[in-house]
């Protein structure tokens, strides 16, 4: 019987110990949801004053975003940068372009050393390999970070979930 009372008391105390969800900052493209940011999410953004800030959202309160100990109104944000995934495509793409360029240079140097005509320096497979490495590397470097410039297609909405009387 004591065990049952303890379990009932535990379940009755859960609402007092839990915290409600905080407000949400929503990035939209033409009214459609792109990404949502809440407390604890990393955010990199550019202000309307031209400064870039990066950090973790500490709090969302009264249309303001607290990050790095500073408060920003959500309308002061001019652009949001979407950071690339954990794998760094920029370095992989740069290495692929260096390998493709090196492959092409080696073909030219070998052709000059063999005293071949310039049209015989490269085989078809050599041109394909070098071209794919150069083109693929370029595409990988371009697929890294992406900026969402607010104002045109992209908009930032502040969704207030909690009531003011329960805050702070």
Average pLDDT for 96-108? 87
The answer to whether 47 and 77 are in contact (CB under 8 A) is yes
* pTM score, whole prediction: 0.57
How large is the angle between the packed helices 124-142 and 89-113, nearest 10 degrees? 160
Task: State residue 120's pLDDT score.
Answer: 78
Q: Give percent above pLDDT 90 in the chain.
A: 10
Is the pLDDT confidence value at 147 over 60?
Answer: yes
Return the pLDDT at 49. 92
For residue 19, is pLDDT > 60? no
Q: What is the mean pLDDT of residues 26-37?
A: 88
Over 55-122, what HEC string results? EEEEEEECCEEEECCEEEEHHHEEEEEECCCCCCHHHHHHHHHHHHHHHHHHHHHHHHHCCCCHHHCC
pLDDT the model gives residue 86: 59
More confident of the two residues 90 and 70: 70
């Amino acid at each position: 019987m004591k065990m049952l009372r303890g379990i009932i008391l535990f379940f009755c105390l859960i609402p007092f110990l839990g915290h409600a969800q905080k407000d949400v900052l929503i990035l939209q493209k033409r009214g459609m949801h792109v990404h949502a940011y809440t407390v604890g999410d990393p955010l990199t953004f550019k202000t309307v004053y031209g400064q870039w800030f990066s950090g973790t959202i500490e709090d969302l309160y009264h249309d303001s975003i607290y990050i790095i100990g500073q408060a920003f109104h959500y309308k002061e944000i001019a652009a949001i940068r979407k950071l690339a995934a954990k794998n760094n495509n920029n370095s992989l793409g740069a290495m692929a372009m260096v390998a493709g360029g090196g492959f092409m240079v080696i073909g030219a140097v070998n052709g000059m050393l063999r005293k071949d005509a310039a049209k015989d320096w490269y085989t078809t497979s050599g041109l394909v390999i070098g071209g794919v490495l150069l083109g693929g590397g370029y595409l990988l470097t371009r697929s890294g970070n992406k900026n969402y410039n607010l104002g045109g297609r992209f908009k930032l909405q502040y969704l207030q979930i909690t009531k003011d009387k329960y805050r702070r």
